[in-house]
Structure 1
Amino acid sequence: MPYKHNADRRHHVGKMKFRVTNWRDYEAGLRRRGSLSLWVTPEALAGWRAPRRKTRGGQARYSDLAIETALTLGCVFAMRLRQTEGLLHSLLDLMRLKVPVPDHTTLSRRAQKWEPSARRNPPLPDGPLHVLVDSTGLKVYGAGQWLEQKHATRSRRNWRKLHLAVDAKSGAIIAQRLTDQDTDDPSQVAPLLD
């Protein structure tokens, strides 16, 4: 039979293991996955424009907060800078906010020097901390992944382990280490706590 050729190597989709009994809630949950909620605090609106510089040179029009907001939206939705400008413009129009939107050339220029606020080290509180240490596996994809799928060959999977130390109270990541797949978790506790 021609449709059974290479059937053992084809990807098969299994049957559902559960039955939906409450379709109304199920469909409402699917609709909620596509909803977008965006909150802009009064403090963010007050800090949208850049403060005046007292040094020589041109005045920045947008604060770092405005640039970070635009670039974060662009990263989340995988958009180019012109598309990000349009998205931010339409969101601010829908919320009836009268703040200027950074154009794509400003975003491009400021993105070269931009460092996300997540990378900045938050100040650690004084006193003892309750620290949670855990790790997760990250699969490394290489250039030959599609060849493996196409020819149904198996190669050794490459993994990396991301070890995290998290403050239990605030949820902030205090330290992180990326190791190979052979490194065990207990050996990374001391370096993370240092």
Structure 2
Amino acid sequence: MPHKYNGARRHHIGKMKFKVTNWAEYEAGLRRRGSLTLWITPEALAGWAAPRRKTRGGQPLYSDLAIETTLMLGMVFGLRLRQSEGLLRSVLDMMALDLPVPDHTTLSRRARTWKPTARGNDRQHVANGRIHVLVDSTGLKIYGTGQWLEEKHGTKSRRGWRKLHLAVDADSGEIIAHSLTDQESGDASQLQPLLDQIDDEIGQFTADGAYDGYPSYDVVLRHSPGASVVIPPRSNAVERPNTQACCQRDDHLASMQADGRLKWQASTGYGKRALVETAMGRYKGIIGPRLRARSFLAQQTEAAIGVTILNRMLACGRPKSVRCQASAGATK
């Protein structure tokens, strides 16, 4: 029996094809992602030593920027902490730099207390306009009994997962905010922490139905009054009773009832939400679908450094594509 029994007689829709218009620039950016000079910057080497503390206790030897550089180097090339230590030591030896290299125990311990270094925001803010923010979440596996072992022996698994919440700029594709929570946290509960990390004014906010609810609209409008909030209401959603002011959620409900859900998606630009799905696919494809760290604080550090890696790779080069005009329509 074929994969699809009536496949020869089904109506097929041709797959959309795109052409990259800046292939030379994008290819050079892909090669630059593997350069060590991209990840070990002169700023990191200049701020390698930690500033002396004025309170009681031992003096730290490495700055947070040095810990971040070492962890980032290991995540980019898929190395464990010991291998990251060895790679960095060999690189510093070839550069003839007499700098101490943090050992794997120091990396494991400092990852639980790491804080982003104050280097300024590299993001270019929109001068005269507002940004389009896309928000979604995905799951990342953590350690525990494997699925095969659990299926075969019926053992109770301790395997869990974390939720990575991302906010993406629809125009640049950059991840502008993120948070890592446990698997019990709801998506809508992380809207305020994500918006607190965004300094730009929001012109349009787009999310899926998991964020549906009047509290989500209130959070976004408190951050950016006048923003357009595009969240598809649930199928059984009803309008808010006894309301005086016009609410965007009620407008979405009325539009869907009049024209249908598909027409509402086309009119509101809801299809751009696929870009945040692409960002989550990039994270799992480049960084990985699971977290290596054991403690929750170290896992948050790992996710934050992974987001930094993706943004730096994106800054090297981003493909600009245009849709190819199909010579024929759907095939049969």
TM-score (norm 1): 0.52
Q: Which residue of 2 aligns with 1:191?
A: 222
Report 1:49-68 matches (<5 A): 49-53=49-53, 55-68=55-68
Percent identity of paired positions between Structure 1 and Structure 2: 47
Could you say what the CA RMSD is over the residues aligned between the two structures, in angstroms? Answer: 4.9
Instruction: Pick closer, same or farther for the CA change 1:133–1:96 going to 2, 3 Å.
Output: same
Deviation (angstroms), 1:27: 7.8
Distance 1:138 1:93, change over 3 A: farther
CA shift for structure 1 position 191: 2.6
Task: Please say if residues 64 and 116 of structure 2, whose CA atoms lie closer than 8 Å, have aligned partners that are also in contact.
Answer: no
Give the aligned partner of residue 41 of structure 2: 40
TM superposition shift of 1:102:
0.7
Equivalences for 1:8-87 in 2 at 5 Å?
A: 17=17, 29-30=26-27, 32-35=29-32, 36=35, 37-38=37-38, 40-41=41-42, 44-53=44-53, 55-87=55-87
Question: Any residues of structure 2 matched to 1:111-126 within 5 Å, and which?
Answer: 111-117=111-117
**Offset from partner CA, 1:108-167 (integer Å, 9 cap, x none):** 11112112348x998xxxxxx977343214254599xxxxxxxxxxxxxxx879675443
* Corresponding position of 1:167: 200
> Which residue in the other structure is 2:133 paired with?
135
Matched-pair contact (CA < 8 Å) for 1:47–1:63: yes
1:88 equivalent in structure 2: 88
Letter in 1 for 2:200: D
CA distance in 2, matches of 1:141, 1:55: 40
Structure 2: give runs of 5+ residues left out of the alignment: 8-13, 122-126, 142-186, 226-332
Secondary structure of 2:221 counterpart: helix
Work out whether residues 50 and 63 of structure 2, in 8 Å CA contact, stay in contact via their aligned partners in 1: yes
Shift of the 70–131 alpha-carbon distance from structure 1 to 2, 3 Å rule, reads farther
Change (3 A) 1:101 1:191: same
- Alpha-carbon separation, structure 2, partners of 1:67 and 1:51: 14
3-state SS in 2 of match to 1:34: helix
**Does the Cα contact within 8 Å between 1:130 and 1:167 map onto a contact in 2?**
no
Change (3 A) 1:32 1:140: closer
Change (3 A) 1:19 1:100: same
TM-score (norm 2): 0.34
What's the offset of the Cα at 1:28?
Answer: 8.3
1:5 to 3, 6, 21: 3
Q: Comparing both structures, which one devotes a greater share of its residues to helix?
A: 2
Letter in 1 for 2:99: V
Q: Which has the higher contact order (CA 8 A, sep 6+)?
A: 2
Q: Which whole-Å CA distance do the structure 1 matches of 2:58 and 2:110 have between them?
A: 14
Offset of residue 192 of structure 1: 1.9
Any idea what SS the aligned residue of 2:82 has? helix
How far apart are 1:106 and its partner, in Å?
0.9
For residues 189 and 56 of structure 1, what CA distance do their matches in structure 2 show? 43
- 1:19-63 superposed Cα distances (whole Å, 9 cap, x missing partner): 89xxxx95885465133242533x543431223445554332212
User: Secondary structure at the residue paired with 2:130?
Assistant: strand
Question: Is the partner of 1:167 in helix, strand or coil?
Answer: coil
Q: Is the 8 A contact 2:82 2:104 kept in 1?
A: yes
Alpha-carbon distance, 1:103 to partner: 0.8
* Contact persistence 2:64–2:115 (CA under 8 A): no
Report the AA paired with residue 223 of structure 2: L
Q: Please tell me the residue identity of whatever aligns with 1:64.
A: D
In structure 2, distance between residues paired with 1:8 and 1:98: 69
1:182 maps to a residue whose letter is D
